[in-house]
Chains A and B, each alone.
Chain A
Amino acid sequence: MNSSFRFSDTAIDSRALQAGLNHPTAGGFVAFEGWVRNHNEGRPVLRLEYEAFTDLAIVEGQKIVDEALQKFSIADAACVHRVGLLEIGDMAVWIGVAAAHRGAAFDACRFIIDEVKQRVPIWKKEHYVGGDSGWINCEAPLLSRQPSEYSDG
């Protein structure tokens, strides 16, 4: 069983990853690929950079995959996320799930990508036409909130 979350600084080999999840009990396989697109919130994007707090990200990513194995009736799952500079059309993240039945495979795959996007310490910097760039979600402070007691965890 793979049940793994890892990073790659080179192109993701989805075929090899799929082969690694081949399981005799699995009647269905679902994969999600996140691709770099050429626009975000109305701005044309030239390329992306991903950066990760690797030590913590691997622990948290592995927790998510383990949670998926607990919550859903699946045989195996894996997630690989890129770091570094990516061009339009590159694969940024790959998630694969093998299960006896397709319902659980779809549900677990959705769960993993949704949780990775929320919890894993990975950051994305977009580079725009015109030369400027920005870290997604990080540029503007929340003006409506006062720095009082910060939320835990």
Chain B
Amino acid sequence: MISTLKSPDPAPSSSNTASTVSLHLQYFAVFREQAGKSDETIDTRANTPTLLYAELQRRYGFKLIGAQLKVAVNNTFCDWHQLLKSGDRVTFIPPVAGG
């Protein structure tokens, strides 16, 4: 599925229409198994968790939907619309089951 995703805000300092961010991704539990890795660094135009998760679903076939997840950026829970910047560490958090 190819879709044109409208970026929520233009990158303020970039005149490059194909601007990407370099993100460090961490995978746990079911995501780690489905991605086949615990972490990776990617370059992507997906600059919010919402856009990024959609891209990862396409890439790895993650079956959980966003509404079931939380997201953390730089080890802090955050908003799905938060603008991501290069160097950010992003972790999608599957339904927890501690205790």
Residues of A within 8 A of B (CB): 34, 50-53, 55-57, 59-60, 81, 92-93, 113, 116-125, 135-142, 145, 147, 149-153
Contacts and interface: CB of A to CB of B under 8 A. Distances in A.
Contacts of A93: 98-99
Nearest to A49: B29
6 contacts: A53-B93, A116-B98, A135-B97, A138-B30, A149-B80, A151-B80
A interface, by DSSP: helix, strand, loop or mixed? mixed
B29 A125 contact: yes
Contacts of A150: 49-50, 53, 66-67, 69, 80
Contacts of B63: 140-141
Contacts of A53: 26, 28, 72, 91, 93
A142 B68 contact: yes
Contact of B99 (A92, A135, A147): A92
Interface of B: 26, 28-30, 32, 49-50, 53-54, 63-70, 72, 75-81, 91, 93-99
Contacts of A147: 54, 65-67
B96 A135 contact: no
B92 to A, nearest CB: 10
Contacts of B72: 53, 56, 121
B3 to A, nearest CB: 13
Nearest to B31: A138
Nearest to A152: B79
Contacts of A119: 96
B94 A123 contact: yes
Interface centre among A57, A59, A122, A138, by most chain B C-beta atoms within 10 angstroms, is A138
